[in-house]
Structure 1
Amino acid sequence: MTSTRTDRWLHLDGTTNTRDLGGLPTVDGGETQFGRVLRSDNLQTLSEADVRTLVEEVGLTEVVDLRTTAEILMEGRSPLRDVDGVTHRHFTLLPERGMRTDVFAAEESDEEVRAQLPADWAESILPRQVAAGDEGEPPAVRSYLGYLTDGTENVLAALRSLASGGPGAAVVHCAAGKDRTGVVCALALSVAGVEPAAIIADYAQTAEVIEALVAKLAASPTYAEDMTGREIAVHTPRAETMRRVLDLLDERWGGPIGWLEAHGFGADEQAALRTRLRG
């Protein structure tokens, strides 16, 4: 079984699940490059030292935020929002309830915006939606297929942002950095030609930090009820989940690349994303 290198972890004060997508083997005998794309849990608790590490040492220039508007407003600003030269892009993969807005502009008057959120806004926070017709699949698999069905345009937009960004590094994140982030990163790594076994292993690697990750999210009122209301095993990513998603993409679309091409992510965009990850 393919394993991922332990030096891909980036140990920060304010995150639990940050790692580099470099060092992953590709089907043609190469590997992805370090310092191009990172994946992470949420970033609002970054310390000043974390910000220096990301900006000065890693060379971060782009944040791709996959959370909902409600999550961003309830959790507050990331300190990276105050750093010149770091661009933030927001592509929610979950259906938004109530108002739709420029979320980063809304941060400037977040108390007023929060007051306008509908009573059921919290239902849009966690990955509950499922793809129709896949009732026989495990819940996590159905959720991930749901991102591709309900969040198609934003999945593609996140990948396009990675493809067109640079020359600095980008970080893709959601709340935990395992579900929404896991799907977008799996597609990006597929475009880069990473071995399927390595894509699966990278997804499952979050299990190494799951206890600390759940504890971090449980400390936030936004996520506390979900984190404490279910056993930790429910939150733990399993290799067979991503393996099943990749198998279904193979069966239905000829693979992740087939799904992307069928939805308009063309050869030039694929080449740009491959270059971003591989150099």
Structure 2
Amino acid sequence: MSNELQRWIVLQGAVNVRDLGGLPTVDGQLTRFGRILRADNLQGLTGDDVKRLVGELKLRNVVDLRSYPEVELEGPGPLARVGEVTLHHHTLFAEGGRFTDVEADTGPAIDGERVLPWRGERSEEDLAELRVTGYYYAYLRDRPDSVIAALRVLARPDGAAIVHCAAGKDRTGVLSALALEVAGVTREAIIADYVATGERLEQILARLRASDTYRADLDSRPADTHMPRPEYMARFLESLDTRFGGATGWLTAHGWTEEDHRALRSRLLD
């Protein structure tokens, strides 16, 4: 079975769940399976799903990136009732829609000349990339404390950890990319992991449309505009390269220590 097939975790109550294992690093290693997972909203997990995550996969820590309104409206989810699991809520706040990340490329204008390094005339495609990448950078700008705290949870050695938001696309995509950058995963593999959410986009949107919390945001524009495109993540990472010397440079500037770095690398590689 290929690594790509192994990475997807099939559950009844979530559709965008995958393992960050099996990804190549720049020095020829592969990230370890069963350490860090990424997911969409976990509200609909069934009893069997919980048994698989907690019993088989040894899930012990959940990083919830949803906003405070999302958690209040949707609830913490079934895993909150499992004694072996600890929930860690670290909102990134910079959601594009009313409650969620499903409209991360719409909403108030982003001052791209301040946020991102490139200049000059831009096409409509460039402007779309600028909006999305600007929102991604805003997560880091507005809540560096949440970003650092969430990554430290993922680095814990006690069982598996899972990070999620609503769609498992934007907020989760950014945090996953940062974790993979720390582990030295190739840029191509990081972008491919981000884009993989597109394989499940129709199912993700159907799930979210079933909730009053997300329906209005989703119905305001065509489904294909929600697609995670490789150029979005590529430009986000390039902006960190230009401004901070890479993701690790940004993390270090915001309190990430060498001990943190070793711990997260160990989780994903040892």
Matched, 1:160 2:152: yes
How far 1:273 moved relative to its partner?
0.6
Maintained 8 Å contact 1:14/1:45 = yes
Give the stretch that moved more between structures: 259-268 or 25-34. Answer: 259-268
The amino acid that maps onto 1:149 is R
Q: What does 1:111-126 align with in structure 2 at a 5 Å threshold? A: 123-126=98-101
Give SS of 2:163's match.
Answer: strand
The amino acid that maps onto 1:272 is A
- Residue 9 of structure 1 is matched in structure 2 by 8
Q: What does 1:64-143 align with in structure 2 at a 5 Å threshold? A: 64-94=63-93, 123-126=98-101, 127=104, 132=111, 133-134=114-115, 138-143=130-135
How far 1:131 moved relative to its partner?
5.7
How far 1:278 moved relative to its partner?
1.3
How far 1:77 moved relative to its partner?
3.2
What count of residue pairs does the alignment treat as equivalent?
A: 251
How far 1:259 moved relative to its partner?
0.9
How far 1:5 moved relative to its partner?
1.3
Maintained 8 Å contact 1:200/1:239 = yes
Give SS of 2:212's match.
Answer: coil
CA distance in 1, matches of 2:244, 2:50: 40
How far 1:15 moved relative to its partner?
0.3
- Residue 173 of structure 1 is matched in structure 2 by 164
Matched, 1:45 2:44: yes
Matched, 1:149 2:148: no
Maintained 8 Å contact 1:36/1:168 = yes
Give SS of 2:98's match.
Answer: helix
Maintained 8 Å contact 2:99/2:214 = no
How far 1:276 moved relative to its partner?
1.0
Q: What does 1:256-275 align with in structure 2 at a 5 Å threshold? A: 256-275=247-266
How far 1:40 moved relative to its partner?
0.1
The amino acid that maps onto 2:43 is Q
How far 1:157 moved relative to its partner?
0.9
> What percent of counterpart residues are identical?
50
Maintained 8 Å contact 1:62/1:86 = yes
Q: What does 1:161-240 align with in structure 2 at a 5 Å threshold? A: 161-163=153-155, 165-240=156-231
Q: Given the superposition, is the C-alpha separation of residues 130 and 271 from structure 1 closer, same or farther in structure 2, using an over 3 Å criterion?
A: farther
**TM-score normalised to structure 1 length:** 0.85
Maintained 8 Å contact 2:98/2:217 = no
CA RMSD of aligned residues (A): 1.8
Task: Name structure 1 gaps, 5 residues minimum.
Answer: 97-121
Maintained 8 Å contact 1:61/1:166 = no
Give SS of 1:123's match.
Answer: coil
Give the stretch that moved more between structures: 77-86 or 206-215. Answer: 77-86
Maintained 8 Å contact 1:4/1:198 = no
Maintained 8 Å contact 1:23/1:31 = yes
- Residue 57 of structure 1 is matched in structure 2 by 56
Maintained 8 Å contact 1:141/1:244 = yes
**TM-score normalised to structure 2 length:** 0.88
Question: What are the superposed Cα offsets for residues 36-67 of structure 1, whole Å, 9 maximum, x if unpaired?
Answer: 00000011100001000001111100100000
Give SS of 1:14's match.
Answer: coil
CA distance in 1, matches of 2:192, 2:217: 26
Matched, 1:252 2:251: no
How far 1:167 moved relative to its partner?
2.4
CA distance in 2, matches of 1:162, 1:226: 29
The amino acid that maps onto 2:130 is P
